[in-house]
Structure 1
């Protein structure tokens, strides 16, 4: 019996030792990421029948159990991958929001300074200082556009860099999972789970899940099969399928994620990689960065185009017609690298006021040209080119061969608008502040002034090619005859738009008060009651260096609705951009905070079940220590009994 007692004591001692070791292991790993606490599961060693009854044989360790809940762990993974995506998006968009809304670094103050300079020029059209100040404020505005665009471009390059970094991390995690699969599969051959290895693998899965959302299937042998995207296998047991980066076929500067199969790269749709840092980067680029850079470019293009158009209707200090004040960007066109033909597409901005902030694809299917507004517009088919969409005219480039079925092009009308805007003039004297025409009432044939009450407006120019149109080569004098109620001196081709009408009609000189009279590319209005013999003159603005009429019209562009089909101004369009980014920033930040709170909640639930509670483990230490001491006492008692038996034999 003493031998039986010794065995029982020994089993109790071993159980207590294992309990102490396991508890110490838990305490040692209380701060280890991904560690799940372990429990010692004991069972009775059975009993032996001695005739008078069954006598117990002690205890045995049946399992060292890892406290792990698949359901709760899945909730943690789901919350973590969503938080990682939103956190990444938030960190990126906050930078853009701060950049665009900055009261000193944004476009708004530069626009205000530029048009303030034009107001000063209007008051002092012949002052060299005012002209130079206007050019300086224009240069500051150009520099501000370019600086903001440069920072957005740097953000775009940063996204590419982070995508590459994330893909590298994903591949490294995949290799670790495959190696752990092999080690765990081998260890489980003993029939017992290698708890610490399982924790390590789950922790690597958690880290991978921060980069891209994963789906895990568990095999009977203990291996994990890991899938990403729309079910693309990343890890299959010990086999790893690598990811890589690849430039977009229509935009070489836009990195995408590709799945490597048999040495070939298959690009994964950005929308398929939901969750994780990759998803946050893709969403930021497509939902915020692209439209923001396009919107900024649109403001620059419409500003430059409309300002140039009005500036060309003016006259500079040399008496010459105004030229381009700004340089204007052209659409960026990139053919797909997979195009079967060498056809070239041309795209030009023919109506800047109708520009949107979208990009477009043009695809040819062999019979029709399909133009799609990105990101999610429906394709519109056209049988022929050219076609104009949102102010952009699409056509085959001059000398280009015909397109072949499968040809595809990406057209980005405004992406370079802010990058390429610049000053087209450097000489202050070339600012066309004056109007190219001058009107006057009188003198009459005898040299005296008009005697009637009729007046003539200062006139406007509607065509920049005014130098080839009468009456700019020499003055034209209109002389009024009371007998016929007509003006003589009208050149051929004169038209008039009568008050209350919108249609210009041929005019024989009959006077109608308030009618808009067009002579060549000039328009003016005679109002009031002219007297017989009164004259009105229209001609070139000779020596008009002190004239500010075109400067006033240029300044009026500040509040004119020239953007988005005449629905808003330059400042309004920029404010819409700032507002859109600000609202999206708040939305992402709120969602990120909510997901962080959800992650904290499910993590606490997981830790309450699987985490190490040091106080509880300390109590376990005391319990196992006492069990160890008691087991030792049992063994000591068995030894004493054995010694007594030996002494009885002598």
Structure 2
């Protein structure tokens, strides 16, 4: 090759390097841009008799500086950071709602039971009853308002899930389009459309802000992208789609489905992790559902236990108390994918609010047996026998199943989800407050001994054995026993910690300090009665008596939930603590994820980022190379002209 051609090759190489450096400088602030550099190689030398003469240089490649391993770390960190940020933004709303000292449930609970306590005071009267009814309305409104706020958050989550699915589908289509363009433009490993590949990598990075995506290399510089449990999102130039679809068992819940042809398969929330979408799904399943179910459980537990005690009292008109509060039955829905020929019906009733959990349940039929699965821990309980003769109780809920079932029939049961929303005051007048006990006792003045009888209380059994008139008990000194108990009812005596049950009609001994229970009535006797002394138990009138109000007030400190270890207030405090701890955990994780993302981005930038100082130095270097190559060509021209002059 002539000296002129050698200079020309150096000139072209320097020009390409200058253009690439200028390209780097002008794109330094473009998101996702990777630094490029011209890679030169020595042209093939020409053999001469005395050796090989160089033929100049050639451009081997315009190299894109990037590291796929570091990029994968950035994508993973981005998906985690976006998920934690989204989770943190959502759970902080619930945390603030529950823990607020003004609008939270605690002030309303304390105010309500404070009014119940006020009703037990000697000076209490009609005003105290009115105050109690007002406090009950405030408590109901607080339950409903807190649940409504959670429903607003839930609808917001539904909307964000839908928008994220739309964005994910858009990115998938754009990545697939770039895959096609890159494959067509690629000419092997060395000739690559660098700018298109940068655009595609940036789209993949943006995709990971919405969902964690797994990336693998394919032929012709294409990328294959999958999500969830390996569902393909992009394969070559083909993009697959997600769909925001209504839950088959809950029409108020938006789920994410995978589209295959004309079929949409709902994906489990746990399968879609990372990114905003993963954060939303995790928040809903692990925090929002828990908070709403827990609040509903408190509402149902309060209503059921308060009602049970209220039924055992008399109102101002002398009538037995009715329901003080009302709540809805458990939410039950069938899967709309069930066999249309199936006539299965599932109903659920709360039979023991103290045994309720905060979990939802799924009822499935496998073709032979029905199984109830507690979704919080996947504990399964078989419905046996089936067909049922009586409902089967699981965690305080009576499950009743009837009809003709088909294999894979499925139902969702949410016992407590609507508890707070449906919590209402059932009574309409303060006179309906059953503050009085239904029985009273007295010792006739004619008694000669020192025997006494307590005021007496009743339990639920009394409602089936109400006194129609006075019940007179008498002491028989000859036998040391008490007579006059109902002839058809057994009597249980607790004396000195020992419980003894006497059959109906049997002699019941008198023991000072012992407690007696018969026909749902309990009382204790003390002193030393004389022969023939009587003790009278009779129906109460409901006026001037607030003993049942005292028992209602005592429910505030009674252990109700979690196998008799938790009060209403402590159950709510536990909810506040669990959400608060989770909120703090998510906040810390979000901060840690941001730090990891920054670290990963820094490492990737060290490889692919544009350093303007370095590029400025390169400009000078390549400028000098250009000038030097020009000088070579100038000298070659001078030599060539000198040779021509000799020939003249």
Q: Same fold (TM over 0.5)?
A: yes
- What's the CA shift for 1:51? 5.5
1:130-161 C-alpha deviation (Å, 9 max, x unpaired) = 21211121111111111111122222222221
The residue that corresponds to 1:447 in the other structure is: none
Which aligned pairs between 1:392-407 and structure 2 lie closer than 5 A?
Answer: 392-396=397-401, 401-407=403-409
- What's the CA shift for 1:376? 3.3
The residue that corresponds to 2:491 in the other structure is: 496
In 2, Cα distance between the equivalents of 1:578 and 1:95? 12
In 2, Cα distance between the equivalents of 1:214 and 1:487? 81
Do the aligned partners of 2:33 and 2:609 also contact (CA within 8 Å) in 1?
yes
- What's the CA shift for 1:308? 0.5
Q: Taking structure 2 as the reference length, what is the TM-score of the superposition?
A: 0.92
Worse-matched range after superposition: 322-331 or 71-80:
71-80
In 1, Cα distance between the equivalents of 2:7 and 2:605? 36
After superposition, the Cα gap between the structure-2 partners of 1:509 and 1:69, relative to the gap in structure 1 and judged at 3 Å, is closer
- What's the CA shift for 1:269? 2.6
Do the aligned partners of 2:490 and 2:518 also contact (CA within 8 Å) in 1?
yes
Q: Does 1:308 align with 2:307?
A: yes
In 1, Cα distance between the equivalents of 2:412 and 2:288? 17
SS in structure 1 opposite 2:564? Answer: coil
In 1, Cα distance between the equivalents of 2:250 and 2:471? 57
Q: Does 1:70 align with 2:68?
A: yes
- What's the CA shift for 1:330? 0.9
Q: Taking structure 1 as the reference length, what is the TM-score of the superposition?
A: 0.92
The residue that corresponds to 1:362 in the other structure is: 363
After superposition, the Cα gap between the structure-2 partners of 1:17 and 1:488, relative to the gap in structure 1 and judged at 3 Å, is same
The residue that corresponds to 1:621 in the other structure is: 619
Worse-matched range after superposition: 167-176 or 532-541:
532-541
SS in structure 1 opposite 2:320? Answer: coil
Do the aligned partners of 1:125 and 1:546 also contact (CA within 8 Å) in 2?
no
- What's the CA shift for 1:46? 4.0
- What's the CA shift for 1:639? 4.3
Worse-matched range after superposition: 92-101 or 413-422:
92-101
What do you get for the CA RMSD once the two structures are aligned?
2.4
In 2, Cα distance between the equivalents of 1:490 and 1:253? 57
SS in structure 2 opposite 1:502? Answer: strand
The residue that corresponds to 2:276 in the other structure is: 277
SS in structure 2 opposite 1:557? Answer: helix
Q: Does 1:241 align with 2:246?
A: no
Worse-matched range after superposition: 566-575 or 188-197:
188-197
Do the aligned partners of 1:494 and 1:517 also contact (CA within 8 Å) in 2?
no
The residue that corresponds to 2:324 in the other structure is: 325
Worse-matched range after superposition: 5-14 or 485-494:
485-494
1:29-62 C-alpha deviation (Å, 9 max, x unpaired) = 2221111100111122344456665443332222
Structure 2 runs not aligned, ≥5 long: none
| Runs of 4 or more above 6 Å deviation | none
Which aligned pairs between 1:73-472 and structure 2 lie closer than 5 A?
Answer: 73-123=71-121, 126-189=124-187, 192-340=191-339, 341-381=342-382, 382-384=384-386, 385=388, 386-396=391-401, 401-444=403-446, 450-463=447-460, 466=463, 469-471=465-467
After superposition, the Cα gap between the structure-2 partners of 1:195 and 1:124, relative to the gap in structure 1 and judged at 3 Å, is farther
SS in structure 2 opposite 1:213? Answer: coil
Do the aligned partners of 2:78 and 2:597 also contact (CA within 8 Å) in 1?
yes
Worse-matched range after superposition: 48-57 or 600-609:
48-57
- What's the CA shift for 1:248? 2.3
Do the aligned partners of 1:497 and 1:515 also contact (CA within 8 Å) in 2?
no
- What's the CA shift for 1:634? 3.5
SS in structure 1 opposite 2:371? Answer: strand
Q: Does 1:608 align with 2:603?
A: no
- What's the CA shift for 1:644? 5.1
Worse-matched range after superposition: 416-425 or 484-493:
484-493
Do the aligned partners of 1:10 and 1:635 also contact (CA within 8 Å) in 2?
yes
In 1, Cα distance between the equivalents of 2:554 and 2:254? 43
The residue that corresponds to 1:512 in the other structure is: 511
In 2, Cα distance between the equivalents of 1:510 and 1:232? 77
SS in structure 2 opposite 1:174? Answer: helix
In 2, Cα distance between the equivalents of 1:649 and 1:524? 142
Which among 474, 478, 501 is matched to residue 473 of structure 2?
478
- What's the CA shift for 1:574? 1.1
The residue that corresponds to 1:525 in the other structure is: 524
1:361-411 C-alpha deviation (Å, 9 max, x unpaired) = 122233322111113323222232321111111113xxx533333322111
In 1, Cα distance between the equivalents of 2:364 and 2:173? 40
Worse-matched range after superposition: 339-348 or 503-512:
503-512
